[in-house]
Amino acid sequence: LLTGESRHQSSVEYIGEGVKILKKYFNNVGIEIYPLETQEYRYLHELGVDYLSVYQETYDTARYDEVHLSGPKKVYSYRFNAPERGLMGGLRGVSIGALLGLSDFRKDAFATGMHGYLLQRRYPAAEVCFSVPRLRPCAGGEHTRFEQVHDADLLQVMLALRIFMPFSGINLSTRESAAFRDNCLGLAPTKISAG
C-alpha cells in the first residue's frame, strides 16, 4: 500500500481502512508511507500490516538537508528511525535504501548496509531488505548535480549487500531495464517490482 508523504491526504485511519480491504485478498500487506510513531505502526500491524518500506534517500546529512527544505520529511533523524519504530510496533520486516546518486553512492550504499546490519542485530527475527533505486538522467534534463550510477556500479552495490548480509532481501525496481534486471536476477536481487 503506497501513499505519498502527506498525512493530510492519507491519514493513518484512512490507510487502516485500506489495509482492512487488502487483508481480504492478500496474505501479506506491506506499506510504503510517510514515517509514523511506534503506536501508529502497532495500530496498522494489528489491522494486518506485516512489512514497511521507508527510504532515507541519502545518509549524507548535509545533502539531505539541502534537498528537503521543509515539512515533516525535513527531520533526518525522524525518518532514519522509522524502520526501528515499525519493528517496535510489531512489524515482521522492513525495507530500507538510499536513492543512489543523490550523494556519493558508495557512501550511501555503505550506510544503507550498516543501517540494515544494526537493525538486524537489534531485531534478529525481523526480515531486513534493501532497495537499490538510482537516479537516472531524463531526456533534456540536467544531471550535473547528481553522480551517475552506472550498471556496473549498481551491480557492485547489490553484490556487496548480498555478501555482507546474505540472508537479506534485495529489491530491484522496474525503473531498471528488462535486460539489466534479467542479467542480475541470479546474482543478488530476491524481489523485483511487478512490471
pLDDT tens figures, 23-47: 999 999 999 999 999 999 999 999 9
pTM, two decimals, is 0.92
**What is the structure's pLDDT at 141?**
63
Reported as half-sphere exposure (CB side, CA atoms, 13 A), residue 20 has a value of: 7
Residue 140, phi then psi, degrees to nearest 5: 75, 5
Summarize pLDDT for 160-173 with one digit per residue, the tens. 999 999 999 999 98
Share of the chain above pLDDT 90, in %: 75
Q: How far apart are CA 96 and CA 129, in angstroms?
A: 6
Task: Pick the closest to residue 41 from 20, 4, 23, 15 (CA basis).
Answer: 15
**What is the structure's pLDDT at 143?**
56
Q: How far apart are CA 56 and CA 67, in angstroms?
A: 12
Residue 31 has which C-alpha cell? 506499506
Residue 134 has which C-alpha cell? 538510482
**What is the structure's pLDDT at 193?**
73
Residue 145 has pLDDT above 70, yes or no: no
Residue 167 has which C-alpha cell? 540472508
